[in-house]
Amino acid sequence: MAFRPNLQRLRHGSLASSLRRGLYCWLVGDAPWPPRFIRPDAEPAAVPPSRNIYVHLPFCQTICPHCPYNKVRYDPPLVLGYRAALLGEITTYLARDEALPVDTLYFGGGTPSLTPELVEDVIAAFRPRLEPGAQIAIEVYPLDATDALLGRLHAAGVTRISFGVESLQGAMLKRLARRYTGAQALGAIDRAKRAGFDMVDANIIFGIPGQTREEVIADLATLIEHGVDQISAYPLFTFEHTPAGQPHHSRDYARAVERVRRATQKSIAQTCRAAGLARSCVWSFTREGFSPYTTVTRTDYIGFGAGAGSLGRGRMSFNTFPVASYIAGWRRGPALVWEMTPGEARANWLYWAVYTLHVSAADYQGQFGRALEADFGRFLFLLRTTGMARRAGSDTRLTERGAIWVHRVQSLFSLSGIDRVWTVCTREAWPDAVPIF
């Protein structure tokens, strides 16, 4: 029998810790271990400006057991307090002389479509800075997608919609605590297509306990028939701070993820390619002629709202996660900051370049003023010689084999950091320090 490790459980073990440290030292060089977020000084430096904006709206009607993102149950008085804090944070940033024009404005959550009034307020605040043709995108819960709501979002300036469909199968939706049927999800997509948005993306989850490969592929085919412009297919990951990540659930969930992922990944790619959707990053397949729907696969961005992250100039930060703490303390600035060493900043760039499947030597030179091959030549050579990537002129592009293995390696490396940081931040509003690994 072939050895098939459970990567989601393995990521918490000592072997994974050793592997992470080895890879870190190879790519980063001489830098303190482990890297860590720390609470900034009393007057931290302002978040660097960016043309890419993310806004977090954390309110949900129900809490899904698998969702790792920062969220709370919808509560009208809390929404009012959050609105004041959010607009205060945004207007404070926009008053800075160095604030830049905006190319992308993405709303995530939570369930952003649950609070369309906040979406309208935020777009209005940024409108004087929006570039012509700016992407304004939002995640929409299928049950929220009435003609009235979609018309309201379109009138406000939203150009892109992403639906968290997850599955079209009733049993799978029940397991994920989703409150709609497959037919209702498809109806939401049809209404969004008629409403005239520039792009409609649909998320699906595979590796749900009890789910078969055939069910996933049937869902994909149906979504494609309904005209979605992008499919984002994610395996079911488990995180410590979610109900699905608790000890009495994690073994069941993790085993199913590995079993179904192995049987499903290649079929997902084959189905999408056959329908004219090309892989645009590790998780997503996008129709030709459309730029991918993506939030943080950028060299820099600024996040507003509870738990929102920002990245720029070798610095990553997070706002405080608890909504009440954010409302009371947004003026304090970020709760945690990671001031990267130059080597860490370069390795972070490489991670996201691999994630988007294209490692550009020119982009790297423009970002850091250094030669990509000089810094990461051995790593890229390893990817090419193992069939994970191929050379494309001076660039490196991941192959289908490489994209599938990024899925698996991500379980061991980056998801461990996300799990650790988000678990601490959901429990402590202003932690002193959080090791990333």
Task: Pick the more confident residue, 419 or 429.
Answer: 429
Q: What is the pLDDT of residue 241?
A: 75
Residue-wise pLDDT for 24-80, tens only, equals 899 998 888 899 999 998 776 788 999 999 999 999 999 998 888 999 999 999 999
Q: What is the pLDDT of residue 9?
A: 56
Residue-wise pLDDT for 118-141, tens only, equals 999 999 999 999 999 999 999 999
Distance CA 239, CA 99 (A): 35
Residue-wise pLDDT for 302-333, tens only, equals 999 999 999 999 999 999 999 999 999 999 99
Rg (CA), the chain: 21
| Position 24 in a domain | no
Q: What is the pLDDT of residue 12?
A: 58
Per the structure, the complete domain to which residue 80 belongs is given by 52-287
Looking at residue 184, the DSSP 8-state letter turns out to be H
CATH number at residue 97: 3.20.20.70
| Position 258 in a domain | yes
| Position 19 in a domain | no
Instruction: Work out how many domains the chain is built from and give that number.
Output: 1
Mean pLDDT over 222-235 rounds to: 97
- Tell me which of 21-35, 378-392, 404-418 is least confident: 404-418
Contact yes or no for 411/12 (Cβ under 8 A): no
Q: Which of 280, 273, 235 is nearest to 257 (CA)?
A: 235
| Position 232 in a domain | yes
- 298 pLDDT band, cuts 50/70/90, is confident
Q: What is the pLDDT of residue 7?
A: 52
Q: Which of 406, 430, 435, 433 is nearest to 420 (CA)?
A: 435
| Position 296 in a domain | no
| Position 194 in a domain | yes
